[in-house]
Chains A and B, each alone.
Chain A
Amino acid sequence: MKTVTNKFSNIFDSIMSGLSKYKEAIVKGDLFVKLSFLWMGAGYFRRKQYIKSLIITLFEIAVLVFTFTFAIQYVPKFGTLGTVKQESVFNPITMQKEFNNYDNSFQILLFSLVSFIVWAIFLVVYIRNIYRQYQLQLDEQNGKAPEKFKDYMNKFLNSKFHITLLALPVLGISLFIIIPLIAMIFVAFTNYDQKHMPPTELFTWVGFNNFVQLFGGGGITSTFGYAFVRVLIWTLVWAVFATFTTYIGGILLASLINNKRVKLKKMWRTLFVITIAVPQFVSLLLVKNFFADGGIVNTICANIGLIDWLRDIGMINTTYIPFLTSPGWAHVMVILINIWVGVPYQMLIATGVLMNLPNDQIESARMDGANSFQIFRHITMPYVLFITGPALVTDFVRNINNFNVIFLLTNNTYTTSNQALANSQAKEIDLLVTWLFTLTRDNYNYKMAAVIGIVVFVISAVCTLVVFKRLTSGDKEGAYR
Chain B
Amino acid sequence: MKIKFSDILRHLFLAFLALIWLIPIVWLVATSFSKYTGMNTSTFFPEEWSLINYKNLLFASDSVTQFPSWFKNTFVIACATCVVSTAFVLMVAYATSCMKFKMRKTLMNIGITLNLFPAVLSMIAVYFILKALDLTNNHLGLILIYSATSGLGYLIAKGFMDTVPESLREAAYLDGASEARVFFTIVIPMSKPIIVYTIISSFLVPWMDFVFATLMLNSGISSNWTVAIGLNNMLDRMLLNQYFTQFCAGGVLISIPISILFLIMQKFYVEGITGGAVKG
Contacts and interface: CB of A to CB of B under 8 A. Distances in A.
A and B form one complex: yes
Interface residues of B, number: 100
Interface stretch (B37-45, B48-56, B57-65): B37-45
A179 B28 contact: no
B149 interface: yes
A432 to B, nearest CB: 7
Interface stretch (A60-68, A87-95, A167-175, A370-378): A167-175
Contacts of A173: 111, 114, 148-149, 151-152
A123 B145 CA distance: 28
A285 B149 contact: no
Interface in A77-114: 106-107, 110-111
Interface string B96-118: 01010100100100011111111
B280 to A, nearest CB: 13
A168 to B, nearest CB: 7
A453 B114 CA distance: 12
Given A158-B179, A271-B22, A300-B44, A355 B270 contact: yes
B163 A110 contact: no
A287 B24 CA distance: 7
A177 B126 CA distance: 8
B257 to A, nearest CB: 9
Q: What is the interface of chain B mostly: helix, strand, loop, or mixed?
A: helix
B144 interface: yes
B180 A158 contact: yes
Interface in B144-199: 144-145, 147-152, 155-156, 159, 162-166, 178-181, 183, 193
A14 to B, nearest CB: 11
Interface of B: 4, 7, 10-11, 13-14, 17-18, 20-22, 24-25, 27-28, 39-44, 88, 91-92, 94-95, 97, 99, 101, 104, 107, 111-126, 128-129, 132, 144-145, 147-152, 155-156, 159, 162-166, 178-181, 183, 193, 204, 207-208, 210-211, 228, 231-232, 235, 237, 244, 247-248, 250-251, 254-255, 258-259, 261-263, 266, 269-270, 273-274, 278
Interface residue tally on A, bucketed by range:
35 or more
Contacts, number: 279
Interface string A117-128: 000000000000
A405 interface: no
A181 interface: yes
B251 A279 contact: yes
Interface stretch (A29-37, A143-151, A344-352): A344-352
A161 B99 contact: yes
Nearest to A389: B159
Interface in A464-481: 464-465, 468, 477-478, 480-481
Contact of A456 (B4, B92, B118): B118
A464 B266 contact: no
B194 to A, nearest CB: 10
B43 to A, nearest CB: 8
Q: What is the interface of chain A mostly: helix, strand, loop, or mixed?
A: helix
Contacts of A276: 262
Given A277-B258, A289-B39, A259 B10 contact: yes
Nearest to B27: A290
A275 interface: yes
A450 B166 CA distance: 44
A280 interface: yes
Contacts of A424: none
Interface stretch (A201-209, A226-234, A309-317, A433-441): A433-441
Given A110-B125, A283-B251, A394-B155, 6 more contacts: A159-B179, A162-B99, A171-B148, A181-B122, A262-B11, A274-B259
Contact of A161 (B118, B155, B180): B180
